[in-house]
Structure 1
């Protein structure tokens, strides 16, 4: 009891400090999560408490030195709470791309974001800071001799243990994701590209390639591949779609799959040696390259976006973790505006696709398969609900690809469209879900090819070769080499044994 009396003021101060920190900052990361039951809420409440407990450790040691606390706490708290405002009210997800967009945005655009509610929120937090500093000045026995020191050490250790057990457990949420994202922004890309010193030529003229880079679409959930549910009714009606049901990649998440697809790296490459970038090779051959994306770029592949002659990222402040992400159809007007059938052109359209959380990936009128998921806590959903929601995203993909083809058909262009998902998705097999883990479903991404009438007339041998390859096992190694072959690139080597054209 004597110990409790001695350190009572310190205990109450840190209880207050963590309460205000959790309300104005930490809870922002949980505010938008859809939950439907007591079990769901209980699970995330425990996660929230564990996260705040780890934060307590850092706040505690920050408070030990009065000069450090009085200088750093107001700055850090106001900065982080200001970011939390946008997480609360706009469902912004903090990532290295968000850091980049924020730092590189013009000052006049930033000023336009300052609203009356935001100013009032800052004033409220300034008031909280003033009150906190007054309480801190009254604090007694605030030293490392306190029993709270051991508890604070355990709190910091809990962060390390959680991250070692499952990376991102805490670091994907406020306030840790700010520091992690800033670190990722400052890091150099580990992908080293080979310089191209010799002249690159193409033997094709006015050939346009539209590459739709999909997300988390497994081949066996496409009706066109024999799936029993009508997930691709529009593409099913077409007689000009060539599907490849046996594609394969062991790289089951975007950050490692996309760099492999867009370079001459193999599926088992460790990237210790420099690679050729497909975008860079095409640029050198005077082929116009475009990148139109609905995913906030990751460090591993942003270099390809920056290399593209034209690039635009839709809705950059909402990542795949956001619940307010724009639908992929918003990519189409940008594509239509930049498509030019009169030149050699390679356009990448990067979809958010079927990335979890499925219910924010398609408009309501595509909610055909029911019942659907209602909770982000996967155990609260039935397997039927999970699969129905996922299949609705495929139904929307069917619409998106068909709309893209319809636009291309208007152009009377020499065009080939390639849809390729970066990886598949696990849907309950061996009681596993989603991707970034090994499994037949996550290693079998969907792939479709459509060719314009003009293309088919000019290159009948390519159509014949595609049809002869469509049922073979096709490693994603094929892409780089096949595109160079398609454009008949000269001046840089590629492996003709991997070409499907």
Structure 2
């Protein structure tokens, strides 16, 4: 009792400090999470408390030196509060791409975002800082001799422990995601690229390649590959479309799969040697390159976007962590504007696809299979609900690809469309879900190829080759090598054995 009495003021101060930080900053990361039951609420409330406990540890060490606390805390608190406002009101998931957009947006555009509610929120945070500092100045106990010091050490250490056990548990929540994303933005890209000889050239003429880069779509959930559900009601009726059911990659998350697809790296590459960027090669071969994306760029593949001659990211402020993310169909009008049917062109369309949380990836009209998931907490959904929602994203994908084809086939062009998912998705195998885990289910991505009548007329032999290789195991190494061969690019080495054309 004497100990509690002695440190009562300090205990109250840290309780108030952490409640203030929780309300103004930390809880914003949980505000939009869909929960369905008391069990869901309990899970995320426990997650929130664990996160705040780790924050408490760092806050405590910040209070040890009065000068550091008086200078750093007001600046950090107001900054994080300002960021949390947008997370609260717009469900913005903080990522490296968000940091980039924030720092590189023109000042006049940024000023348009300042509103009365935003100003009021910042004013409230400043008032909170004033009261926190006033209370702090009354503290007389030595933080280094307080029993709270041991709790602070445990709290701060819990961050490293939890992150080493499951990366992203805390790093994807405020306030940590701001620091992690800023580090990624200012950090160097580890992908070293080879310089390209100016004599590189393409010997094809008017060849249009549309590369739809999908997300988390597994091959065995396509009706085209024998899946019993009608997940491809439109594409299954089309001619000139081929599906490759045995595509393979061991790289089961976007950050490592996309750089492999768009370079001459092998599936087992350690990237100790510099690689050729496919986009850079195409540029040097005077092939027009476009990148239209609905994913907030990550550092690992941002270089390919930057190298593209035309680039457009839709809804850049909402990442895959947001529950208000625009649907992929927003990419369609942009594609139609930049498509040039009678020239050498390579267009990448990067979809959000079937990325978790599935219910934010398609409109209500595509909710064909029911019941669907209702909670962000995977364990609170049944296997039937998870698979139904996932399959609905495939039905929406079917619509999206069909829309692209329907537009292109009217152009009488020499065009090939390649749809390739960066990896598959785990749907309950071995009691696992989603991806970025060791599972054969996530190593079998969907691969589709459609060709125009004009292309078949000009390249009948290539079409025959494609048909003969449909059921072969197709490593994703094929992509770089096949595109180089396809455009007949001279001056760049490639592995002819990997070419599927």
TM-score by length of 2: 0.99
The one-character-per-residue Cα deviations of 1:159-181 (angstroms, maximum 9, x if unpaired) are 11101111111111000011111
Aligned to 1:209: 209
Q: What is the rounded CA distance, in whole Å, between the counterparts of 2:484 and 2:171 in structure 1?
A: 40
| 2:94–2:177 CA contact under 8 A, matched in 1 | yes
1:303 maps to 303
Note the 1:258-273 alignment, pairs <5 A: 258-273=258-273
| Paired position in structure 2 for 1:393 | 393
Q: Is the 8 A contact 1:190 1:300 kept in 2?
A: yes
Does the 8 Å CA contact 1:7/1:140 hold for their aligned counterparts? no
Q: Tell me the SS of whatever aligns to 2:50.
A: helix
5 Å-filtered alignment, 1:240-389, equals 240-389=240-389
Deviation at 1:140, TM superposition (A): 2.1
Alignment of 1:5-44 (within 5 A): 5-44=5-44
- Name the CA distance, whole Å, in 2 between partners of 1:36 and 1:277: 45
1:92 is aligned to 92
Distance in 2, matches of 1:480 and 1:177, equals 33
CA distance in 2, matches of 1:396, 1:147: 57
Alpha-carbon contact 2:264-2:275 (below 8 Å) kept: yes
User: Per-residue displacement from partner, 1:64-111 (whole Å, max 9, x unpaired)?
Assistant: 211111111111000000000000000011111111111100000000
Q: Give CA deviations for 1:172-208 in whole Å, capped at 9, x if unaligned.
A: 1000011111111111111100111241111111111
Further displaced range: 255-264 or 198-207: 198-207
- Quote the Cα distance in structure 1 between the aligned partners of 2:464 and 2:132: 73
User: Residues 117-139 of structure 1, C-alpha deviation per residue, up to 9 Å, x if partnerless?
Assistant: 10111111111111111111222
Q: Can you list the C-alpha shifts for 1:373-429, whole angstroms capped at 9, x where unaligned?
A: 000101110000000000000000000000000110121111000000000001001
Match of 1:139 in 2: 139
- For 2:493 and 2:324, the matched residues in 1 are separated by 44
**Per-residue deviation at 1:343?**
1.3
* 8 Å Cα contact 2:213-2:419 kept in structure 1: yes
Structure-1 residue corresponding to 2:158? 158
2:403 alignment partner in structure 1: 403
Alpha-carbon contact 1:96-1:299 (below 8 Å) kept: yes
1-structure distance, mates of 2:362, 2:205: 37
Deviation of residue 209 (structure 1)? 0.3
Distance 1:234 1:197 in 2: 44
Provide the alpha-carbon RMSD of the alignment.
0.7
Distance in 2, matches of 1:309 and 1:142, equals 60
Q: Which residue is 1:65 aligned to?
A: 65
Is the counterpart of residue 49 in structure 1 residue 49 in structure 2?
yes
Q: Please give the secondary structure, in 1, of the residue aligned with 2:349.
A: strand
- Cα distance in 1 for partners of 2:154, 2:252 equals 35
- Shifted more, 136-145 versus 396-405: the winner is 136-145
Segments of 4+ in structure 1 off by > 2 A?
none
Kept after mapping to 2: 8 A contact 1:218/1:445: yes
Residue aligning to 1:232: 232
CA contact (8 A) 1:10 1:142 kept: no
Q: Which range is displaced more, 141-150 or 239-248?
A: 141-150
TM-score (norm 1): 0.99
2:343 & 2:12 partners in 1: Cα distance?
Answer: 70
| Number of residue pairs matched by the alignment | 501
List runs of 5+ in structure 1 lacking aligned partners: none
Name the residue aligned to 2:196: 196
How much has 1:440 moved relative to structure 2?
A: 1.6
Q: CA deviation at 1:322?
A: 0.6
- Name the SS of the counterpart of 1:391 in structure 2: helix
The offset of 1:451, in angstroms, is 0.5
Name the SS for the 1:419 alignment partner.
strand
8 Å Cα contact 2:244-2:470 kept in structure 1 = yes
In the TM superposition, 1:449-488 aligns within 5 A as 449-488=449-488
The unaligned stretches of length 5 or more in structure 2 are none
Which runs of structure 2 are paired with 1:393-432 in the superposition (5 Å)? 393-432=393-432
Separation in structure 2 between the aligned mates of residue 295 and residue 488 of structure 1, nearest angstrom: 31
Distance 2:73 2:201 in 1: 59
* Alpha-carbon distance in structure 1 between the residues aligned to 2:333 and 2:357: 25
Q: Deviations over 1:241-289 (max 9, x none)?
A: 1110010000000000000000000000000000011000000000000
| SS of corresponding position for 2:442 | coil
1:143 deviation in Å? 2.6
CA contact (8 A) 2:198 2:284 kept: no
